[in-house]
Structure 1
Amino acid sequence: AAAVDVPVSADLEAGYGDPGETVRRAVGLGVAGANLEDELRPLAESVAAVEAAVAAADAEGVPFALNARTDAWLRGRDRPREASLADAVERGRAYLDAGATCVFVPGDFGEDVIVELVAALGERRLSVIGLPSVPPPDRLEELGVARVSYGPYPQRLALGALQDAASYLYRGGVLPSDIRPLN
């Protein structure tokens, strides 16, 4: 956060055992927002974590954007669509009521699920992850989504390309002549 002139959002996992203290320390470092995961822990425990994070940020006296993540879709893979959707909505509403700025529901689902989540949580209250079945950013904006992130996927793309190039070179290939300079 000290190295850039733009707001920094941190991935604080599930709060590292103390969501309030973790947020307090992140704010002290200049972090302007964070993701906080529920890991599908019991709802009351997850709501308490959101409340502690919000209270800690408020106590620091700075604006802080808490993106409360529910793993209802990711960890509920074997459940029917309706069960994952209902769980995401219940948890999302509880996190918003506890003071979260928006709710992050990562999953590889289509526009129909996004429409239902926005209807249940409110416009500009839903964050999603960009995956193959998720619409492109301009369509997400039209649907009322607040935020799209790509998580580890840009890194996976880059490392996959590096792995492919290394394999090609190892087999006796040469570097292509059209490599674009990045610096």
Structure 2
Amino acid sequence: MRVYYFACAITLSHFPSWTNTPETLLLVCLLHDLGTTPANLPSTHLSFEFHGAFLSLNLLMSLSSHTAQAESIAETIIRHQDLGETGSMTELTAAVHFGTLLDNAGKFVELVDRVTVESVVKAWPREGWTGCFAHVLREEMGRKPWCNSTRIEGFVELVQGNGVMAEFD
């Protein structure tokens, strides 16, 4: 939920013309780490983003979601850690980038008021999230040395060095 509220705050403050629906953004934020669960991470050779996207796509389609919405959510889940500096992405993917990178790495904090960060973390406590997520990354990289997270040089260290959220962990 933190990613959702951070993404909403950044989008509303800095990108008011973006047309993401709150429901679609919420679904991405609820599902984006589905591939990291203890049952899902070791169940495939796929990187967690890809596996989670396929699981989410199948779930949403089984619930009669509109194909365009379900595929947009899956695309965003696949790309939510795509930190490359070239190419294009949808507004939805960009919003989720802002939210996840703020929560996981302390990036883009200048786009959110300190009171907003404090309010979100108070409502949705981190409860050691930095260590938990760093552990998941190390576990996946150990199990799957080819995984997508290995493309982000120093990613575990970036997560562990999240000074913005350190006081809330």
Higher strand share: 1
Structure 2 length-normalised TM = 0.30
The structure with more radius of gyration: 1
